[in-house]
Amino acid sequence: MPLPTFDVPFVLGMMRLHEATDMHQANHLADWIEARLEQGLHWFDHADIYGDGAGETLFGQALRARPALAKRLKVVTKASIANDNPTPGSGKVKHYNASPAYLNRAIDDSLNRLSVERIDHFLIHRPDLLMDAEATGRALDDAINAGKIGAAGVSNHLPSQWRRLQSAMHHPLRANQIELSIAHSTPLFDGSFDDLCADGHAPMAWSPLAGGALMEGEVSHVLTRLASEHNSTPAAMALGWLRSLPNRPAPVVGSVKPDRIADMLEGPDTLPRETWYELLEAARGHCVA
């Protein structure tokens, strides 16, 4: 079976959606979603902790206002982070929970908030060190069999962690979201990127612009020069760097600004080999051995 891929220039990350007050009006957000679909961007990445569910809720309100959109897009959502950033003195402790009860509830809640019939990819957001792999694997298999999720996957897991889960499942894990960028290339050198590709996971790269760090220092100078040479933008070149990797990782882009999104589409799909290594060298401060 061929490795699954996300057939888009990048995935639209909804982490900051709830912070964009102009998106709180359902018809306005529906217009924004439709405009992205017209640009060929039909994958949207969510998580239950984004705005404590507010991101999914706003997205679902837009789909209820314009139901035809739901059939034209695909959604990823994630769960397992509990009590994210608790208020000091609240008595709550941030922790991870991949128990069947927690994930089953998270899937149902996300389906309701998003107003979709199925979550295309459901990912375990962070590895729960107390996870009962057999029980969690059965819960994910059951959710796929019930048609609630199209496929299960992981995020921020080590190969040993996702393989323990996979060994308890009938259905294959199909997606894997990791931090990956020119500035954070560790997965390319520690074997974890090779492992996820070998295990048939479609790779997704969060923080593909390293939280703005790529626009500073030597790598910024190189990106600016290369963007000029390719009639592109620095951000678009950085995303092309990721897509040049084997199995074409899908960058997860966090901006909801139309002009920013348009800028990131203004670039080559992939980069020439020497250009790719030039950017790696600029970020690491030395050439490959």
The alpha helices in 146-272, defined as continuous H runs, are 159-166, 186-189, 192-198, 217-229, 234-243, 258-264
Question: Which pLDDT band holds residue 1 (cuts at 50, 70, 90)?
Answer: very low
Q: Where is pLDDT greater, at 84 or 242?
A: 242
Q: In percent, how much of the chain has pLDDT > 90?
A: 93
Residue 2 has pLDDT above 60, yes or no: no
Q: Single out the catalytic residue among 50, 96, 102, 277.
A: 50
**pLDDT value at position 195?**
98
**pLDDT value at position 215?**
87
**pLDDT value at position 122?**
98
**pLDDT value at position 85?**
87
Q: Contact, 250 vs 5, CB < 8 A?
A: yes
Residue 5 has pLDDT above 90, yes or no: no
| Three-state secondary structure readout of the chain | CCCCCCCCCCEEECCCHHHCHHHHCHHHHHHHHHHHHHCCCCEEECCCCCCCCHHHHHHHHHHHHCHHHHHHCEEEEEECEECCCCCCCCCCCCEECCCHHHHHHHHHHHHHHHCCCCEEEEEECCCCCCCCHHHHHHHHHHHHHCCCEEEEEEECCCHHHHHHHHCCCCCCEEEEEEECCCCCCHHHHCCHHHHHHHCCCEEEEECCCHHHHHHCHHHHHHHHHHHHHCCCCHHHHHHHHHHCCCCCCEEEECCCCHHHHHHHCCCCCCCCHHHHHHHHHHHHCCCCC
pLDDT 10s digits, 208-248: 999 988 988 899 999 999 999 999 999 999 999 999 999 99
**pLDDT value at position 4?**
61
Question: Which pLDDT band holds residue 3 (cuts at 50, 70, 90)?
Answer: low
pLDDT 10s digits, 194-205: 999 999 999 999
CA distance 257 to 265: 13
Q: Residue range 11-32: average pLDDT? A: 97
Average pLDDT over all residues of the chain: 96
**pLDDT value at position 7?**
87
**pLDDT value at position 228?**
96
pLDDT 10s digits, 148-193: 999 999 999 999 999 999 999 999 999 999 999 999 999 999 999 9
- Tell me whether residue 50 is one of the annotated catalytic residues: yes
Helix, strand, coil percent content, the chain, rounded in steps of 5: 45, 15, 40
Total residue count of the chain as it appears in this document: 289
Residue 74 has pLDDT above 70, yes or no: yes
